[in-house]
Chain A
């Protein structure tokens, strides 16, 4: 039976949907959307918050008794900056979970595989639970797994593009090979994309832009929740397998006897 729960490094989460906090029109709507999504993991860009300020507007809107606050290193251009951000977050009292993003190009925000690997290696050794955002590269996933990241987070399409699951063939390989949870991180632009990722076998999805920039972000968050729930239920029900070729209804070898 496929569990509704997502387990990362021994910690159980009741939702397979994670949400981001960027691009919202304000912190109130961000908090309401997070609530409606049913997510238990909420990621926040360290660049946007002051982790040392108890009055920080965004942080004050995230109830850490309900959510795992997952700080991310968005904006870091190399391993050194990413490691520095992660350490600052931990020093300020955040849990040692870090969504590792090393995105030297400020436009498509595509992850740098070399610097991400270097940073992951350092952070894992320092005791962080590292969730790395990466391109849908099966070999890189295995390499990251080997050094001890607690998930891999391949992208479905460039971040913020809302284009859906464009890396489908590589994602299939990643899902097939992974020992750690696979979280499809970027490019999910519609509830159907999220459902597809889960149906394909991804363990979870992370959605931000599609919710934050929707006409009604709270309603859209609910739609994503329902889509993810539907896909989780479908997995539990046992997805009928898809076949590349038609299967003859009369077996060709039915005449054989033992």
Chain B
């Protein structure tokens, strides 16, 4: 059964009503259980569970410490193009936004990568907009070939591809894939993606499957928090993560919690995600899936990132620039505004001061079999 089929088994509004009508007694009962089922997970996402954030945090912290230790894996993004044919209403790269459009040349990619590597980043995330005419699969493969020897591991966050195309990039050194569904609500998905290739909900929904089938070691998913009722949204994120973990048993699944921040276009979100909403989502997910990697990027402000440390997070970006070429020359073509603008060194020093080991290297490209 594909996740598209699984998703069709659920009625969004029914799930939403279920979550919103739970009581404190329901939550207390779940917190006494050892195994958190799908229904329990929904209970933990309920408004009623907001009064139980402290015991949820204690348990999430205990599980994370046992599974991951006091470590945070550090990664950094490289944006190589902000050209995009999509018109996602929430995104800085929306084709209608008047921002400087930049696609880096190979020389510029290497110069950016060198700056990033010099900052100490060894896990690199390659990001582009969706514009296959400007940045094609073979362009991306060439970029991966340029980057592979400069970093320990290379993940990609680019447009959805076929399994064959993902295999091409894998052969060029990519071993991780990040692809956010943005929203699991079909109607909202259609509304916020009015034009462009991204309109195809199911093609995007099954993208993590194609990456895992192509042998990617890690697959990252998530919803863009704020597009829909976050409680219902995160319920489906959890189901999707669990589905992937069950089906692709050799792939490590990570979940991100991006909140909508200011981006070009001044999009107004469905709801503003409060800090406590983000925390509740993360805690519920950790209690549901003990081993998923949980990712927090520099979208979150410095203070918030520090508070999140003991609550289940396992991976964080640092020193990020979200515009192509931004590490060497900043400009306005950003995907989103970075809220935590500390350097990699400053961020790692903070982690150490709080008793966490910043893990710069957790894989090695030399381990991968080259075809």
User: Nearest chain-A residue to B218 (Cβ)?
Assistant: A106
- Give chain B interface residues in 121-138, CB to chain A under 8 Å: none
Contact segment of B18-26, B222-230, B245-253: B245-253
Contact B245 A23 (CB under 8 A): no
User: Nearest chain-A residue to B355 (Cβ)?
Assistant: A25
B182: interface (CB < 8 Å): no
Point out the residues of chain A lying under 8 angstroms from B363, CB to CB. 47, 75
Point out the residues of chain A lying under 8 angstroms from B252, CB to CB. 106-107
B52: interface (CB < 8 Å): no
Tell whether A104 pairs with B250 under 8 Å between CB atoms, given A23-B70, A49-B361.
Answer: yes
A205: interface (CB < 8 Å): no
User: Nearest chain-B residue to A85 (Cβ)?
Assistant: B367
User: Nearest chain-A residue to B253 (Cβ)?
Assistant: A106
Contact B367 A84 (CB under 8 A): yes
Point out the residues of chain A lying under 8 angstroms from B157, CB to CB. none
B339: interface (CB < 8 Å): no
Report the minimum CB–CB distance from A135 to chain B (whole Å): 16
Report the minimum CB–CB distance from A86 to chain B (whole Å): 10
User: Nearest chain-A residue to B71 (Cβ)?
Assistant: A23
- Give chain B interface residues in 332-371, CB to chain A under 8 Å: 352, 355-357, 359, 361-364, 366-369
Contact A23 B68 (CB under 8 A): yes
Which of these, A49, A75, A104, A162, contacts B249 with CB under 8 Å? A104
User: Nearest chain-A residue to B363 (Cβ)?
Assistant: A47
Contact A48 B361 (CB under 8 A): yes
The interface on chain B, measured as residues whose beta carbon lies within 8 A of the other chain's beta carbons, has a size of 29
Contact A25 B361 (CB under 8 A): no
User: Nearest chain-A residue to B293 (Cβ)?
Assistant: A106
Tell whether A24 pairs with B70 under 8 Å between CB atoms, given A81-B367, A84-B369, A88-B367.
Answer: yes
- Give chain A interface residues in 17-63, CB to chain B under 8 Å: 22-27, 46-50
A76: interface (CB < 8 Å): yes
* Chain B interface, DSSP helix/strand/loop, else mixed: loop
Contact B69 A24 (CB under 8 A): yes
A176: interface (CB < 8 Å): no
Which of these, A22, A23, A84, A105, contacts B250 with CB under 8 Å? A105
Contact A106 B251 (CB under 8 A): yes
Which of these, B65, B251, B290, contacts A213 with CB under 8 Å? B65
- Give chain A interface residues in 61-118, CB to chain B under 8 Å: 75-77, 80-81, 84-85, 88, 104-108
A171: interface (CB < 8 Å): no
Report the minimum CB–CB distance from B60 to chain A (whole Å): 14
Contact A48 B362 (CB under 8 A): yes
Contact A50 B361 (CB under 8 A): yes
Which of these, B65, B69, B217, contacts A22 with CB under 8 Å? B69
Among A27, A46, A76: residue with most chain B CB under 10 A: A46
The contact sample of 16 A-B pairs, CB cut-off 8 A, is A22-B71, A23-B69, A23-B70, A25-B70, A25-B71, A26-B357, A50-B361, A75-B362, A75-B367, A80-B369, A88-B367, A104-B249, A105-B249, A105-B250, A107-B291, A213-B66
Given A46-B364, A47-B364: 7 more A-B contacts, CB < 8 Å: A22-B71, A25-B71, A75-B362, A81-B369, A105-B250, A108-B291, A212-B69
Residues of A at the B interface (CB closer than 8 Å) are: 22-27, 46-50, 75-77, 80-81, 84-85, 88, 104-108, 160, 162, 209, 212-213
